[in-house]
Amino acid sequence: TTVVVNGTASHNIPETLWGLMFEDISHSGDGGLYGELLQNRAFQEVTPGTVAALAAWTPVGGASIAVIADSTPLSSALPNALQIIVPDGVAGVGNMGFWGINVNASWTYNASFFFRFPDTLPSSDVTATASLVSASGGTVFASANVSLSPTADWTQVFTTLTPSASAPDTLNNFTVTFKDFSGTINTALFSLFPPTFMGQENGMRADIAQALLDLGPSFFRFPGGNNIEGNTIATRWQWNNTVGPLTSRPGREGTWSYINTDGLGLYEYLVWIELMGMQPIMAIWSGFSLGGQTVANSPDALAPYIEQARQQIEFVVGNTSTPGGALRASLGHPEPFTLNFVEVGNEDQFAPSTYLYRWPAFMNALQPLFPDIRFLATTFIFNPVLGPTPQSYDSHMYDTPDWFAKNSIMYDGFLRNGTTYFEGEYAAISVNPSDLFGTPANGRFTFPTMNGSVGEAAFMMGLERNADIVFAASYAPLLGHVTQNQWTPNLLAFDAGAVIKSTSYYVQQMFSLNRGDAYLPSTRADPSGTLFWSVVQQNAPPAFIIKLANTGADAANVTFQLPAAVKGAARLVQISGNPTDSNTPESPDKVVPVTSSVDAGQDMVVAAPGFSVSVVTVPIA
Ligand code: AHR
């Protein structure tokens, strides 16, 4: 195959092209990106007195424990407490973390909890011991004492834990025990944090955040996905319940079947996005919940939700003379955050008839207030026809590897009329086109597979070719716990100790780190064939960057006739494997990209093994 590359660029590559899509699904937030190590730390949204309310907690040393609705609640947002009845001896409670706790001797952990003595006050201070212990209880890795003053008022205590050794596995508990005390103590809002990514307060798990930073992402779409929608209107994501002290965050029933603490709140997202050098693509709730409840078509019914969305945006970009901007400043960020894109809902193709009135209601109110923000519609593109005409759409694609390759031409025929597109979710998820969302036994991927990743690469060639109208794209879902998940495959899998980079992760990275500045048109690939390519020009250092995907089993040589003289050696990054190969917890590095140096030539021959993606950077003379 010979590809002739044109020296005249057709369009620039937008700065926003490759980024991240995030929502709390498969414990990607609580138990994932969010650094908190304790599960069910504040007994949010649970029913007191039930076994379920004690999720992740166990008694230690003969204590009796129960979640109660405290007669003196810690706060109106956190009405529940963990009541511990301590017998003589050493007794208390333990938390198993999010299916394990990573005990690392090079870390210092910050631990805290609230307490009060609801009945008879002890005659003197009570010693509580916070510890990191093996789940079997045989090994104490770290412990520290804190003194609890005899008080019936809620009081917070803090300590640090520095393990004397790293644990061999993550089967560890955090415990708080009491000695020389027998009686009743109420506790609430426990917390245990390792060092966070870049030291952000109430911030992110360092290894996951680093893996995301290593993708070189430009944007972060959040907080959903289905998870912004809620299963009901009452349980939708509400920004104002996610900011301020943790004691004022009630949490919510997440859309993905577990409680969200909202410890990872709007402010934490925005600070982290800034630290990562990304920009937000932020969603507002658009009047439709996933269970089917929709806000009625009346100005009065819609007004409170539109106002909540306005306040959400004001919190992000309002100046400090506005209530939202002042609140943001009080949390430590007087400067407005960057906010260029706001998405109105998520996948409103599931409620198109009501989006016909919801879209204009939100747009007519919000666009004049925030003229510099580009609002994205979330129905199918131009279906239904919305007014005012959307400037941009977010479109989602989950399909087979084969579908992605064949549809690399998807945007080629779109009108160039000012409308821009965000491929806000896409992934090859199954080899079975008639049961895409089925089980692994029916072809669904558990982890991204090499053939899926190569199919996605073929599709991404089309996104680069159409980057004059496709301004952003993100694989989804981004993160999923290895076992506690609601969706597979995910770009990164993780558990309490490990982060597993998938074959699709590496493909995303190869595109993102080699995005170039301008697109050079070239001979068109046959969309029903097996070879797909894209060539861009990079300004500094000057280079042509060739990307080539081979979705077939047979190796192929492709000659790229480049439009200018080249010099020196070219750098080849290549990933290839068997079509069903995946990186898994057992074999996390089964398929990784390999970097090598190859001879550069103006007729540049790239050898593409079967099921491979290659990126060749050719320096310009
Ligand atoms: O990425 C998983 C889900 O897929 C998202 O929450 C939703 O937007 C889509 O249907």
User: DSSP string of 279-305?
Assistant: EEEEEE--SB-TTS-B--SSHHHHHHH
> What spacing in Å lies between the alpha carbon of 395 and ligand 1's midpoint?
11
Residue 425 Cβ inside 6 Å of ligand 1? The answer reads yes
Query: Which residues are bridge partners to 12 per DSSP?
Result: 518
Cα–Cα distance, 572 to 574 (Å, whole number)? 6
Q: What integer is the mean pLDDT of 540-549?
A: 98
Pair 175, 93: CB distance under 8 Å: yes
List, for residues 467-488, the tens digit of each pLDDT value: 999 999 999 999 999 999 999 9
CA atoms within 13 Å, Cβ hemisphere of 133? 19
Mutation probe of ligand 1 site: the residue of 21, 23, 28, 221 with most atoms within 8 A of C-beta: 23
Mean pLDDT over the full length of the chain: 98
Reading the block at residue 37, the tokens are 């190590």
Nearest one of 612, 467, 564 to 5, comparing CA atoms: 564
State pLDDT tens for residues 316-365: 999 999 999 999 999 999 999 999 999 999 999 999 999 999 999 999 99
pLDDT band at 137 (very low <50, low <70, confident <90, very high): confident
pLDDT tens by residue, 37-68: 999 999 999 999 999 999 999 999 999 999 99
User: In this predicted structure, what is the pLDDT of residue 322?
Assistant: 98
Centroid of ligand 1 to alpha carbon of 225 (angstroms): 5
Average pLDDT over residues 398-426: 98
Report the distance separating Cα 12 and Cα 23, nearest Å.
30
Q: Given pLDDT bands bounded at 50, 70 and 90, which one contains residue 612? A: very high
**d(Cα 578, Cα 582) in Å, to the nearest integer?**
9
- Give, using CA atoms, the residue closest to atom 5 of ligand 1: 225
Region of 338 please: left (phi>0), alpha (psi -120 to 50) or beta: beta
| Atom from ligand 1 closest to the CA of residue 487 | 2
Map residue 329 onto helix, strand or coil. Answer: helix
Residue with CA closest to ligand 1 atom 1: 477
- Measured on CA atoms in the order 248, 313, 201, 30, is the torsion positive or negative? positive
Single-letter amino acid, residue 443: G
Angstrom distances, CA of residue 191 to CA of 28, 69, 130, 158: 18, 20, 11, 9
Count of beta carbons in the 10 Å neighbourhood of residue 116: 20
CA of 191 to the centre of ligand 1 (A): 30
pLDDT of residue 152: 98
What pLDDT is attached to residue 187? 99
Q: Whose CA is nearest to atom 9 of ligand 1?
A: 225
> Closest by alpha carbon to 460, among 538, 376, 536, 532?
532
Q: Is the pLDDT of residue 460 over 90?
A: yes
User: Domains of the chain by range and CATH?
Assistant: 2-12+518-619 (2.60.40.1180), 18-25+219-390 (3.20.20.80), 52-193 (2.60.120.260)
CB 136 within 8 A of CB 219: no
DSSP helix, strand, coil percent of the chain (3-state; round to 5): 20, 35, 45
Secondary element (H or E) of residue 366: helix 352-366
Percent of the chain with pLDDT over 90: 99
Residue 431 C-alpha to ligand 1 middle, in angstroms? 19
* ipTM surpasses 0.90: yes
Out of 222, 236, 347, give the residue to mutate to test ligand 1, the one with the largest number of ligand atoms within 8 Å of its CB.
347
